[in-house]
Amino acid sequence: MKMMTESNTPQWERLHKALAIEARAGYSDIVGKQYRFSEFLCLTFGTVPPEATPQQKQRWRDLAVEFANYEKKAKLERQQLVVKASRLLKDVQEGKPDPTPETKPLQTKTPIPQGNPNLNLDQSLEDIPDIGRTRSRSLSRLGLKTVRDVLFYYPREHIDYARQVNISDLEAGETVTVVGSVRSCNCFTSPKNPKLSIFQLVIKDRTGEVKLSRFFAGTRFTNRGWQEKQKKLYPRGAIVAASGLVKKNKYGITLDNPEIEILDSQGAEIESLNIGRVLPVYPLTEGVSADVVRKAVLKVLPAADTLKDPLPSTLRKQYGFLPLPEAIKNLHFPPDHETLSHARRRLIFDEFFFLQLGFLSRRQQQRETQKSALLDPTGKLIDQFKQVLPFSLTNAQQRVVSDILQDLNSETPMNRLVQGDVGSGKTVVAVFAILAAIQSGYQAALMAPTEVLAEQHYRKLVGWFNLLHLPVELLTGSTKTAKRREIHQQLETGELPLLVGTHALIQDTVNFQQLGLVVIDEQHRFGVQQRARLLDKGHSPHVLSMTATPIPRTLALTLHGDLDVSQIDELPPGRQEIQTTALSGRERRQAYDLIRREIAQGRQAYVVLPLVEESDKLDVRSAVEEQKKLQETVFPEFKVGLLHGRMTSQEKDEALTAFRDNETQVIVSTTVIEVGVDVPNATVMLIENAERFGLSQLHQLRGRVGRGEYKSYCILMSGSKTDTAKQRLGVLEQSRDGFFISEMDMQFRGPGEVLGKRQSGLPDFALASLVEDQEVLVLAREAAEKLVLVDRNLEDYPLLKAELERRYLKLMGSTILA
């Protein structure tokens, strides 16, 4: 690690990267090129950025001291310190102001009634006074039918009206409460809309005054009698409290659609549910108002005291968590923001903890009930393969191979995911597992999501297997009928030890004699049932999953918590550096000139676009139109090819073969070339409308170049001028670490977008966020691991076991258990 050199502008990306790498390394104080992690952070935080606020500068200096003592800290303390540093970086980057000093806290009457012996958790809402049949029908539209349902119906957010400020200190964008005396009040029908009534109230305190407005649509509000009644409610000199979001319009500062309550006197208690407190905001549906939900919650909240806490008291004390009843009550109606924070942390931990406990219990059950073939990790084929390999494995590859072979030398089914960056050498690692199966008398299958990727694997494997005198075949939707029959027959007789293919492998007609190993590439692109159908073709075969799309650790824990995960976090030597540059449309000529220079030296180029055909909704060039334009007007002296997902398999093969053989110098493509295309002679990747792609996908596309001996380039063409787009593309310009890029991608877009909406597989958390609550997820995983280690069947924790069955099934549904 190098220390920051510019004293006045922090190199944010390098700092974020250092923090992400340290988290991935298990907070081990990793050693960089020049400094240990703790030394680098200590030196970095020793230089205060000028744009930081006074409070942020003090926090910055405090972190320098804390990182100086990093080596002495326990692992949990290190985790918390890394999270604290990440948050401060984000605050300074986003220019968040220091919180305004608060005035004396508001006196709000506690809304939670104390005790109600007549309530029980399974009681129907219809039977509760003040809710009754009508309101319970409304609440049932939200899935709320019992007292327990309401208690666990968490607010989606909170509005903090608990902070009272002087009128002169109102700042746009804040949610606050002001208290003042009425200077004037008016209520009248809008001169522009006869069905709209406008209520205006001017209040003042010792520092200034503010005009508040509320709007009422409907003819009943334009009634003169109703309007006069409103004015009488707020006589001149009356003391009122008003809460709302501060907005600035052409008339000055105001509160947007404020909640208003008349007080008995200055400093009197506020009785309203909505004013002067941290207000819960619940998910609603048409016909169910916020007040109906809030009042129902208040009515049943005393029943929270009857909840039995499933978390062992030792675990609660270890992590400093609130008891469950207290956390539930303070999540719904907290007295202040700090109490809310403690309540949220406890309940977020519960969501993560029971998910991780479910994963680990499920894996333990599989290990106890399923038996797989014992595969020989030290046989003749593996020795021969090591001898014919023209290169040495990296340390990371050797580590992962060791993990895999150790798994295979057990009757417990292997279920391992190998994450590796673009070009890290995952396929060669998989070959060791395949050869272990073959030399033990079993067959292996490798399934890839696309024909392009399956073919790429097949080509590579044929080259290696020919040297070992082993047959390997390819089965896809394009395989001819006669060849397909031949493959089926050889599989059933056991003559064919390895079959590579696409979804064609899971067809009913494909039967293995003795399938011992399944390798699934880009496994996240297959559904649960598709993967299961392939596994059913053997008797509890070992499973090795691979992905060239690194995902953040928190996503891996959430999606693959029941898998063992290995990471190939080291690129083989000789991989060329890829120079990445973001350009605007006005700089397009530079990109075309670069392509011409490279082709003049015998190289080739990719041009990638997001769509196949023109779209009225998206201002994006289509691959078809772009290929025609480039061929006819930009590069008429070169041959420009075309590749996209709607072409037939034969057309794709012809296009790729022509590009591999350098018959076409430029290929215009959609993201079909994201993985699986290996043309070492290609040195330029030009990505149009780069702002429309995720960072991880851009990184995958970039990985199509830099695969040979020549210097390579990636050009990110962007039509967006937003700061966010520039920041996102800046990450690609400055980093080649796929794991770091995936972390940043999740920060920018969220986990659902990173994984893809079609098949994200994410559980439906009520409170937890994989972006904001990563630290709590790590704690939950550690706590679950410790508990399973001590009592794997949870026999000593019956409450915990019962809650696990309820929560895990509800949280994951068919995503994991199908």
Task: Express each pLDDT in 656-700 by its tens digit.
Answer: 889 999 999 999 998 777 565 788 899 999 999 999 888 888 998
Tokens coding 286? 């048409």
DSSP character string of 330-384? HHHS-SSHHHHHHHHHHHHHHHHHHHHHHHHHHHHHHHHH-------TT-HHHHH
Going by C-alpha positions, the residue among 253, 280, 109 that lies closest to residue 167 is 253
Q: How far apart are CA 658 and CA 650, in angstroms?
A: 12
Closest CA to 135 of 331, 294, 283, 333: 294
Contact between 181 and 225 (Cβ < 8 Å): no
Q: Note whether 500 and 612 are same-domain residues.
A: no
How many whole angstroms separate alpha carbon 121 and alpha carbon 114?
A: 16
pLDDT at 188 over 90: yes
Helix (H, G, I), strand (E, B) or coil at 666: strand
Residue 337 lies in a domain: no
Question: What is the domain-level CATH number for residue 247?
Answer: 2.40.50.140
Residue 208 gets the label, from left (phi > 0), alpha (psi -120 to 50) or beta, of: left
CA proximity to 461, closest of 449, 450, 448 = 448
Task: Provide mean pLDDT across the span 256-284.
Answer: 75
Stronger pLDDT, 784 or 32, i.e. the higher one: 784
Other residues' Cβ atoms within 10 Å of the Cβ of residue 10: 22
Question: What pLDDT is attached to residue 549?
Answer: 74
- Confidence label for 107 from pLDDT (cuts 50, 70 and 90): low
- Shared domain for 613 and 718, answered yes or no, is yes
- Range in 452-456, 617-621, 648-652 with the lowest mean pLDDT: 617-621
Same domain, 175 and 297: no
Binning pLDDT at 50, 70 and 90, where does residue 261 land?
confident
* Domain annotation covers residue 314: no
CA separation for the pair 411, 420 (Å, rounded):
26
Summarised one tens digit per residue, pLDDT across range 575-614 is 777 999 999 988 999 999 999 999 999 999 999 988 655 5
- Residue 354's alpha-carbon distances to 76, 309, 347, 375, in angstroms, are 20, 13, 11, 34
More confident residue, 612 or 729: 729
Write out pLDDT tens, residues 173-182: 888 889 889 9
pLDDT in tens, 83-96: 788 878 877 877 76
Tokens (6 digits) for 144:
């709320």
**Cα–Cα distance for residue pair 353/356, rounded to 1 Å:** 5
Q: Is the pLDDT of residue 439 over 90?
A: yes
- Rounded to 10 deg, the angle between the 395-408 and 426-439 helix axes is 30
Buried b (16+ CB within 10 A) or exposed e, 464-484: bbeebebebbbbbebbeeeeb
Amino acid at 618: L
Q: Which of 547, 556, 523, 582 is nearest to 726 (CA)?
A: 582
Q: Is residue 755 part of a domain?
A: no
Residues 615 and 722 in one domain: yes
pLDDT at 816 over 70: no
Side-by-side strand order, sheet with 564-568: 472-475, 498-501, 443-447, 515-521, 542-547, 415-420, 564-568
Q: What are phi and psi of 470, to 5 degrees?
A: -120, 140
Q: In what order do the strands lie in the sheet with 208-217?
A: 208-217, 196-205, 175-189, 239-249, 252-263
Structure confidence at residue 325 as a pLDDT band (50, 70, 90): very high
Maximum distance among all alpha carbons in the chain? 98
Using the predicted structure, report yes or no on whether residue 3 has a pLDDT greater than 50: no
Residue 812 within any structural domain of the chain: no
The reply to whether 588 and 653 lie within a common domain is yes
Domain-terminating residue out of 241, 270, 305: 305
Convert the pLDDT of each residue in 24-49 to its tens digit: 777 788 877 667 888 888 778 877 77
- For residues 208 and 237, state if they share a domain: yes
Q: Higher model confidence: residue 251 or residue 446?
A: 446
Which amino acid, 254? T
**Total domains in the fold of the chain:** 5
Distance of CA 371 to the CA centre of its chain: 34
Residue 106, classed as helix, strand or coil, is coil
Task: Say whether both 460 and 604 belong to one domain.
Answer: no
Cα-based distances in Å from 228 to 182, 308, 562:
16, 53, 66
Residue 34: inside a domain: yes
- Chain-centroid distance of CA 335 in Å reads 31
Q: What is the pLDDT of residue 617?
A: 45
Could you report how far apart the first and last alpha carbons of the chain are, in Å? 45
Query: Residue 274: pLDDT band by 50, 70, 90 thresholds?
Result: low
Residue where one domain finishes, among candidates 682, 716, 735? 735
Question: Do residues 593 and 533 share a domain?
Answer: no
For residues 17 and 731, what is the distance between their CA atoms, to the nearest angstrom?
Answer: 10
pLDDT of residue 753: 67
b/e sequence 103-118, b meaning 16+ C-beta within 10 Å: eeebebeebeeeeeee
Residue 46 lies in a domain: yes
Query: Best-predicted range by mean pLDDT among 15-29, 445-459, 517-531, 554-568?
Result: 445-459
Mean pLDDT for all residues in the chain: 84
Radius of gyration of the chain (CA): 31
> What is the reported pLDDT for 90?
78
Q: What's the mean pLDDT in 616-621? A: 47
Single out the residue of 170, 157, 224 nearest to residue 194, CA to CA. Answer: 224
Residues whose CB is less than 8 angstroms from the CB of residue 753 and which lie 6 or more positions away in sequence, other chains included: 694
Q: Percent of the chain scored above 90 by pLDDT?
A: 38
Same domain, 538 and 640: no
Residue range(s) defining the domain that contains residue 289: 109-156+284-305
Residue with tokens 């207000």: 279
Confidence check: pLDDT of 114 > 70: no
Please indicate, yes or no, whether residues 75 and 199 belong to a single structural domain of this protein: no
- pLDDT tens-digit readout, 713-724: 999 999 888 878
Q: Is residue 44 a part of any domain in this protein?
A: yes
Strand pairing category for 415-420 and 542-547: parallel
Q: Report the Cα 742 to chain-centroid distance in Å.
A: 9
Closest by Cα among 673, 664, 680, 677 to 599: 664
Whether 774 is covered by a domain: the verdict is: no
Lowest mean pLDDT, pick from 80-94, 241-255, 375-389: 80-94
Rounded to an integer, what distance in angstroms lies between the CA atom of residue 726 and that of residue 582?
Answer: 8
pLDDT one-digit tens code per residue, 516-533: 999 998 876 776 677 788
SS (H, E, C) 506-560: HCCCCCCCCEEEEEEECHHHCCHHHHHHHHCCCCCCEEEEEECCCCCHHHHHHHC
Which domain-ending residue is among 246, 281, 316?
A: 281
Residues 256 and 180 in one domain: yes
The CATH code of the domain that includes 442 is: 3.40.50.300
Give the mean model confidence (pLDDT) for residues 624-648. 90
Q: Are residues 443 and 559 in the same domain?
A: yes
Under the banding of pLDDT at 50, 70 and 90, the label for residue 397 is very high
